[in-house]
Amino acid sequence: MPALPSPKPVVITSDSVAFCLRLSRVIESYHNGALPRAVSQLREEGTDLCRHGLVRPGLIRLRRAIVSLKRTTP
């Protein structure tokens, strides 16, 4: 592995509140908002966490919600 000359870190854009909100909107768009209870709960929790600055735990919940939606939607 070649060593890096001057490692200037690249910003990960998915680690942001904006991305949180985007995921939240994606969830909403499924079934026109008629979501299973568990999914909507995950979404609320996730959005809440993001708003309070806990972006990564929030993201995990939102992603879980999306995955479970994908699984139930053919």
Q: Which residues are near another protein by CB under 8 A?
A: 1-2, 4-16, 19, 23, 26, 55-56, 59-60, 63-64, 66-67, 70
Nearer to another protein, 51 or 70 (CB): 70
65 three-class SS:
helix
From residue 60, how far is each of 6, 32, 36, 57 by CA, in Å? 32, 22, 18, 5
Nearer to another protein, 26 or 44 (CB): 26
Nearer to another protein, 23 or 39 (CB): 23
CA distance 66 to 71: 9
